[in-house]
Amino acid sequence: MSGAKRLALTDRIGVAAIYAIGFLSLALLVAPSLIVVAISFDTRSYVSFPPVGFTFDWYVKLFATPELIRAMWVSLKVGLIVTGLCLALGVPTAIACVRGRFKGRQALSVFVLFPHMVPGIVLGIAILFAGATIDARPSIGLQSLAVACFILAVMIRIVMARLMRLDVALEEASANLGATRLQTFRHVVLPLLLPAIWAGAAFTFIEGFDNISVAIFTHGHRDRPLPVELMSLVQNDNTPMVAAVSAAQIALSVVILGVVSSTLGLEKLND
């Protein structure tokens, strides 16, 4: 075999091996969720794959379990409060970080993006302690504030990224044409920012709904959110109902994925 041919062969084998690992990884990313969805329809009362029958019983049972319904409401509330807080606090902050002309603008960006470097478990414990010193007991409110603090940086970063790409000339043109600041914001800046705001809202909502690292230390004792309920369910229940709860959560994440991909676009999200 000539040298060139051997080189071509090694090249082909090497690239094929990399592709094979790539496809394996993609399969490993997707398969577990599909297995969970399949199991949630199984007729047997224990968890095993592949399922042998088809039934909606576990979903019926799930919606007949008051603790789970309550947990979903708690998580929904927290998700909405977190989204509201992050919108109200995050969007103006992103504007100041990008359009601001003041000393310490860099420092401001570092400060507001820092919380995402603090591990959720540490932030959760710290807020639990801080609450305990002023008699602010764990509750839906405390949990919402804590998770919002944890995830605010994500909202700020998504909006900042979009703002940096917007041409300032558009805003100047609007002002030159006699638009007031309010008009410029409503008719120029806001429409251009909306995709980022929607994507940020989707992310902060799912974090508020799903977060466990912060939530487990700050949730109210009677208001257990879904992730906390699910964590103990996974440890104590061996029926496919756990798979049904999980499948419901997977369905929610598909909806959120749809929102993000139809607003900001998945490609832009990762730039």
**Residue 215 is a binding residue for another protein (CB under 8 A):** no
Q: How far is the CB of 180 from another protein (least distance, A)?
A: 9
CA–CA gap between residue 120 and residue 193 (Å, rounded)? 29
Q: How far is the CB of 90 from another protein (least distance, A)?
A: 7
Q: How far is the CB of 64 from another protein (least distance, A)?
A: 21
**C-alpha separations of 120 from 59, 104, 129, 130, 159 in Å:** 31, 27, 14, 15, 22
Restricting to residues 113-142, name those near another protein by CB under 8 A.
Answer: 114-115, 117-123, 125-130, 132-133, 135, 137
**Residue 56 is a binding residue for another protein (CB under 8 A):** no
**Residue 111 is a binding residue for another protein (CB under 8 A):** yes
**Residue 173 is a binding residue for another protein (CB under 8 A):** no
> Could you say which of 43, 164, 170, 186 contacts another protein (CB under 8 A)?
186
**Residue 145 is a binding residue for another protein (CB under 8 A):** yes
**C-alpha separations of 82 from 86, 88, 198 in Å:** 6, 10, 14
Q: How far is the CB of 71 from another protein (least distance, A)?
A: 12
CA–CA gap between residue 196 and residue 202 (Å, rounded)? 10
Q: How far is the CB of 239 from another protein (least distance, A)?
A: 12
Cβ-contact 85, 145 below 8 angstroms: yes
**Residue 112 is a binding residue for another protein (CB under 8 A):** yes
Residue 201: closest CA among 137, 122, 138, 263: 263
Phi-psi region of 265 (alpha: psi -120 to 50; beta: other; left: phi over 0): left
Q: Terminal CA-to-CA distance of the chain, rounded, Å?
A: 45
> Could you say which of 72, 149, 199, 215 contacts another protein (CB under 8 A)?
149
The pair of structure tokens assigned to 108 is 């401001």
**Residue 102 is a binding residue for another protein (CB under 8 A):** yes
**Residue 43 is a binding residue for another protein (CB under 8 A):** no
For the chain, how many residues are written?
271
Nearer to another protein by C-beta: 29 or 64? 29
# residues near another protein by CB under 8 A: 106
- Which residues, 6+ apart, have CB-to-CB distance to 99 below 8 Å? 163, 168
Could you tell me which stretch among 52-60, 62-70, 93-101 binds another protein (CB under 8 A)? 93-101
**Residue 194 is a binding residue for another protein (CB under 8 A):** no
Phi and psi of 34, rounded to 5°?
-65, -40
> Could you say which of 6, 8, 45, 170 contacts another protein (CB under 8 A)?
8
**Residue 200 is a binding residue for another protein (CB under 8 A):** no
